């Protein structure tokens, strides 16, 4: 394992790094071997209040308001360049912090850069429209910044989500306060450190590290916040929404999923097999859009699952820095949560077709490695097929008819992503039209989709959309102007 120089990282508030007293620090550990990576501040309502006030001051400053949209775009392009110049370091930090294979972290770095490029191009194209009302009146709309935006960043894709949060906030003329997850804050802090020389007005971007129940709760309840984005669990999302409601503040919530890959007998089996595996083992299954359910036509189920078992048992497992197929899960808490679902399968007599055990990795005995797991013949109504496991655990459920496949796919509290595997074009579009989810992939699986594709869910997967031009709606508000002549 790579030796790490343990440092104390500060909160970034009003263009300055602030380090609190020693007793208010959080340890950040490497999930591969539990080694200490860094200390970060245990920020709370004090730091949040300072950050929000800094963001508010920046938002109302003449300096920020006089920046032309085109120049905001130029600044975002510069950030993309800086990210690529430091891609190896950022990927390494992300892998040590989150545990994912270094190749996956490298992809995350490129996606982060692309977010800044994408929204750089959109910065001077946030358009209003004219509306015909009656003769003698010119009626038009303008889209204005919403104000100070609070972003609560999850632990599984911290660099990607911090990048899209900052990029869209700046593109739309807002200012931002980010609260990264206490487990994985290091790339968010590194990103704003890299941005410092660009001359962004002090307070335009702020980062406060800390626990969700302290710093996160203070951010979602702050009366000067104008919009909140949150990615995380349903229960925490409810609390964020309740806090925001007291201040009449809009929220964008992405609350996870139980996403199916629906595999019909007429599919390209090899392609479907490849993506079913990728969509459940990426980031050790710790992905909100993971393809965690295989819903498969009964006539091909046995052969397909046999191939799946064979392929999964060949996957390499180890510390992310060695670039295996599968890295560790985040923490002991996360490992025990996943294991509780596997124990439930054993208790209820559900077949564990492969995996289901902790993997001991040489020189990383204290790491949280879990074998990729297939739970076979899981009834569609069973808890294992209904609730998000958030690990490399795939449930298998069969269907006889197209109607039954749709019923099973829609039959959970979630509705984030679905994959449809069939060579029948009519069936593909028919099924896609009936699925209750925010994204449908036909004969591939985007695991969250690309930068330009609106991303968000139905039902308990949340509401509002991140990514793409659709996200700009969350960060702007509409003003109507009517001129009589």
CA-angle at 78, arms to 74 and 83, nearest 5°: 150
Secondary structure letter of residue 147 according to DSSP: -
Q: E-assigned strands of 271-341?
A: 293-297
Question: Is the backbone of residue 137 left (phi > 0), alpha (psi -120 to 50) or beta?
Answer: beta
CB contact set of 80 (below 8 Å; sequence gap of 6+): 113, 114, 116, 117, 120
- Listed residue (298, 259, 307, 253) closest to 282, CA to CA: 259
Please name the residues in contact with 220: beta carbons below 8 A apart, sequence gap of 6 or more.
150, 152, 228, 230, 239, 240, 243, 244
Helical (H) or strand (E) element with 439 = strand 439-442
Determine the Cα–Cα distance for residues 385 and 83; give it in Å rounded to an integer: 39
Q: Is the dihedral of CA 324, 326, 330, 336 positive or negative?
A: negative
Give first-to-last CA distance, the chain, whole Å.
Answer: 73
Q: Rounded to whole angstroms, how far apart are CA atoms 332 and 264?
A: 37
Q: Which residues pair with 229 in a beta bridge?
A: 151, 252
* 254 is an active site residue: yes
List the strands of the sheet with 25-29, edge to edge: 7-8, 36-41, 25-29
Count of beta carbons in the 10 Å neighbourhood of residue 130: 9
Q: Do residues 445 and 279 touch, judged by C-beta distance below 8 A? A: yes
Q: Which candidate, 165, 216, 207, 212, places its Cα nearest to that of 186?
A: 207
Catalytic-role residue among 254, 297, 388, 466? 254
CA 16 to chain centre: 27
Q: Is 328 exposed, middle or buried (0-12, 13-18, 19+ CB in 10 A)?
A: buried
Q: Which of 85, 143, 110, 195 shows the shortest CA–CA distance to 451?
A: 110
Q: Which residues are known to be catalytic?
A: 254
């Amino acid at each position: 394992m790579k030796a790490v120089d343990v440092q104390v990282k500060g909160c970034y508030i009003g263009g300055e790094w602030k380090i609190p007293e020693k007793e208010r620090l959080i340890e950040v550990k490497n999930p591969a071997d539990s080694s200490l990576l860094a200390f970060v501040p245990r920020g709370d309502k004090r730091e949040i209040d300072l950050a929000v006030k800094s963001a508010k001051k920046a938002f109302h400053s003449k300096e920020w308001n006089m920046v032309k949209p085109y120049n905001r775009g130029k600044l975002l392009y510069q950030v993309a360049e800086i990210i690529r110049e430091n891609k190896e370091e950022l990927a390494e930090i992300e892998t040590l912090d989150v545990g994912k294979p270094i190749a996956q972290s490298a992809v995350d770095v490129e996606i982060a850069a692309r977010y800044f490029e994408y929204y750089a191009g959109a910065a001077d194209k946030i358009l209003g429209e004219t509306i015909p009302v009656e003769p003698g009146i010119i009626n038009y709309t303008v889209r204005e910044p919403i104000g100070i935006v609070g972003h609560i960043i999850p632990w599984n894709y911290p660099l990607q989500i911090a990048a899209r949060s900052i990029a869209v906030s700046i593109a739309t003329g807002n200012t931002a306060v980010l609260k990264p997850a206490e487990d994985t804050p290091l790339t968010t802090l590194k990103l704003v450190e890299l941005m410092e020389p660009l001359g962004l007005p002090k307070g335009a971007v702020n980062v406060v590290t800390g626990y969700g129940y302290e710093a996160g709760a203070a951010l979602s309840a702050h009366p000067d916040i104008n919009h909140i984005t949150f990615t995380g669990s349903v229960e925490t999302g409810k609390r964020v929404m309740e806090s925001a409601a007291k201040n009449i503040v809009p929220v964008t919530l992405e609350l996870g999923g139980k996403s199916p890959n629906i595999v019909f007998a007429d599919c390209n089996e090899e392609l479907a097999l490849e993506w079913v595996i990728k969509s459940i083992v990426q980031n050790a299954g710790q992905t909100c859009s993971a393809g965690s359910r295989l819903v498969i036509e009964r006539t091909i189920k046995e052969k397909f699952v046999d191939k799946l078992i064979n392929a999964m048992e060949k996957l390499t497992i180890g510390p992310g820095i060695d670039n295996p197929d599968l890295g560790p899960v985040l923490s002991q808490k996360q490992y025990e949560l996943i294991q509780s679902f596997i124990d439930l399968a054993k208790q209820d007599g559900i077949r564990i077709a492969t995996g289901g055990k902790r993997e001991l990795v040489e020189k990383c005995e204290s790491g949280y490695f879990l074998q990729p797991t297939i739970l076979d013949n899981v009834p569609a109504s069973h808890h294992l097929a209904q609730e998000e496991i958030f690990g490399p655990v795939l449930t298998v459920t069969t269907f006889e008819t197209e109607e039954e496949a749709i019923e099973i796919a829609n039959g959970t509290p979630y509705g984030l992503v679905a994959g449809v595997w069939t060579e029948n074009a009519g069936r593909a579009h028919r099924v896609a039209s009936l699925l209750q989810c925010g994204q449908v992939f036909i004969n591939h699986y985007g695991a969250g989709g690309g930068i330009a594709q609106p991303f968000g869910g139905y039902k308990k997967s949340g509401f509002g959309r991140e990514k793409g031009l659709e996200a700009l709606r969350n960060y702007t508000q509409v003003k109507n102007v009517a001129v009589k002549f």
